[in-house]
Amino acid sequence: MADLKISELGSLAGADLSAPDALAIVDASASETKKITVQNLIENGVDLIADDSIRGAKILFGAGDVTATALASSAVTTAKIADDAITAAKIANEATCDLVTTLPATGGYTG
């Protein structure tokens, strides 16, 4: 099969693709055709994707998939929080204050 053009080769079904399968690739810096494994292409090719080139609609997140460490400090602003999204159960005890003209008859607010 060494004398066939790439376009003349048989197709490999996606379900049959495996990590060690080899792909033909043109090394533009050396002006020659080389091979690369599927695994190597994917693992290293991801680093070459341009920033902001994958639309958010193409990234699916399930519940709880974005961890707190993935958010930059101050990334969530009050403008981004829906009205009535934060309930009293989510506010720490004594985290709020009421401006009053007279003191309340009993203890402070408990969240």
Q: Give the tens place of pLDDT for each residue, 49-101.
A: 998 888 877 877 777 677 777 778 888 888 888 888 888 777 777 677 777 78
Phi, psi of 36 (to 5 degrees): -145, 145
What are the tens digits of pLDDT across the range 12-28?
Answer: 999 999 999 999 888 88
| pLDDT at residue 107, rounded to an integer | 67
All structural domains of the chain with their residue ranges: 6-90
- Give the DSSP per-residue string, 30-92: TTEEEEEEHHHHHHHHGGGSPTT-S-GGG----TT-S-GGGSPTT-S-GGGSPTT-S-GGGSP
